[in-house]
Each structure stands twice: as structure tokens, then as C-alpha cells.
Copies of this chain bind each other. A is one copy, B any other.
Amino acid sequence: MKIGIVGLGLIGASLGLDLRQQGHEVYGVARRIDTCTTAVMQGMVDHAAIALDSLSPVEVVIVCTPIAAIAPTVAALAPHLQPQAVVTDVGSVKASVVAAATPHWPRFVGGHPMAGKSEAGLGAAEAGLFRQRAYVITPLETTPTDAVETVQALAQSLGSSLYTCSPADHDRAVAWISHLPVMVSGSLIQACLQEPDPTVRQLAAQFASSGFRDTSRVGGGNPELGVMMARYNQAEVLRSLHTYQTQLSQLQGLIEGEQWDALLALLAANQQARPQFL
């Protein structure tokens, strides 16, 4: 199959490596000419260009740009595509993206491969990045079945665990387990920085160990990504934050009221529930 990839960052270039290995002919599009050159030289794509019209031969296009650029890219692509071409994306938020992109190309199928690493860019790309990771497909009721099946088959060929759900359900679910943790974890770092006594603040930094490291990890990650989550999944992020505040206040109330048995029951319930998310 001829497959186009727009945006040769970590996700786009990693997809290129896997898809070429499967024997597909991969057409890359990047904004910078030296990214194109590197991608061809490193075997991530067969062909690369800056112009979207270079994708006129392909059957499938995977848009791997930042979220804000997905719908504009689909709009710009549309005039150059074959009528039966399928377009998908890899954005981590789906409702707003699918709603904005579909009018430009009805054979657009929202997708979200849930793989990543702390490094970004083409230089961090690796084969097998999507293996055994969730790959979520979020069609609308109006999305043509054959287009959905094309993207599902593609996700499965990467060795991913395939899930199909509505864009709204996707966004609500990732708010809980991906976006809320970033806000909760970031606020932990922020709170520690409020300690007014420099001696205590220095001791805190010196004593911090694996517990702080793990709890603060995603909060200390890429700030642009955090803003994207909040901006494009605003309603669900706020909804999850509201619930979180309520739960935290409840726990705070138990500590204030010295209700140690109730606190024990609460923490034990958390301990028992956590494995269902692992």
C-alpha cells in the first residue's frame, strides 16, 4: 500500500519505520527540507517532500502534526487526494479534532496510538514503538465502515492493542488517566515550591526520593503538551479536576477530623482499585 505521513516527529517517523518494514511504500511530508533528507537517509520513508500535493498517489494519509494543525492539514490535503483515500491522525484528543477534520474529508477516521517517550522528534523514533500499546480508533456514526476497517487493520499490523470508541468516550477516559495526572502532578511540584523557609525547601529537595520522582514525573514533562491537553480537552479536564478536588477535600476532612479508620478504609480501597488500571 502507498501510505503518506504528514509530520515526521517521534510518532510519524516511528510509524514510517514500522510501515516500511511491512513492505508499504511510505511518502513523508515535513516542513523542513533537512528533516525530509534525514528521514529518507535513515529509512523512515521512501520519499519525502515539503508539499502536500506529493501525497496524491497514496491510499492512506496519517496526519502526525501537533493537534492544532490536524484539521487545517486535512483541509489543505483534500484537494490533492484520490476520492477513496482514507485520512487518519494520531492526536491525543479526539472530539474537537474529529469534528473539525471530518467536514473537510468525510473519509477521516480519528486515531490515537497511545505510545510515546520523553524525547521528541525524528531523532527519537524507533521501530516497534506501538507494539502492545493501546491504539484507539474513534469513528463517528457517519464514518464509512471501510475507512474505519482500513485504519483498524493498520493499527493491528503494528502489534498494538486495538480499541474502538466514540470521540467523546475517548476524551473522557484519557482525561482521567492521562490529562488529570499531568495537572495533579504539576501542582505537586508547584506546591513544594511555595515552602517559604529556604532551609526546609533545601531539605525537601535533598530528601526527595522515588516517591516524589514518580509522582512528579508527568507534571514536570513537556509544558506544550500539557497546554494542548487542557486546551483541546478543556471540558473533560475541568470535569475530572472538579471531581479530583472533591475527593482531595474529603481526604483532607478525614485528616482534620482525625478519622483514622475512615482514612485507612479509603487508602485501602485505593490500593485495591489501582491494579485494575495497570
Copies of this chain in the oligomer: 2
A248 and B241 in contact, given A174-B207, A220-B274 (Cβ under 8 angstroms): yes
Residue A73 at the chain B interface, CB threshold 8 Å: no
Cβ contacts under 8 Å, A209 to chain B: 114, 133-134, 177-178
A191 and B247 in contact, given A133-B209, A200-B172 (Cβ under 8 angstroms): yes
Residue A136 at the chain B interface, CB threshold 8 Å: yes
Cβ contacts under 8 Å, A254 to chain B: 230
Q: Is the CB of B191 within 8 A of A271?
A: no
Chain B's closest residue to A272 (CB) is: B220
Cβ contacts under 8 Å, A221 to chain B: 271
Residue A153 at the chain B interface, CB threshold 8 Å: no
Residue A227 at the chain B interface, CB threshold 8 Å: yes
A256 and B235 CA atoms in complex are apart in Å by 9
- Write out, one digit per residue, whether chain A residues 181-221 have a CB within 8 A of any chain B CB (1) or not (0): 11111111111111101011001111111011111111111
Looking at the complex, which one of B186, B192, B212, B251 makes contact with A187 (CB distance below 8 Å)? B251
Looking at the complex, which one of B161, B185, B193 makes contact with A215 (CB distance below 8 Å)? B185
Q: Is the CB of A203 within 8 A of B173?
A: yes
If A174-B204, A238-B252 are given as contacts, then 15 extra A-B residue pairs at C-beta distance below 8 Å, sorted by A number, are A114-B207, A114-B209, A169-B199, A169-B200, A176-B192, A181-B216, A189-B270, A189-B277, A191-B243, A194-B243, A214-B215, A214-B217, A223-B271, A238-B256, A244-B248
**A interface residues with partner B (beta carbon < 8 Å):** 114, 133-134, 136, 161, 163, 165, 169-170, 172-174, 176-178, 180-195, 197, 199-200, 203-209, 211-224, 226-227, 230-231, 234, 237-238, 240-252, 254-256, 258, 260, 263-264, 266-271, 273-278
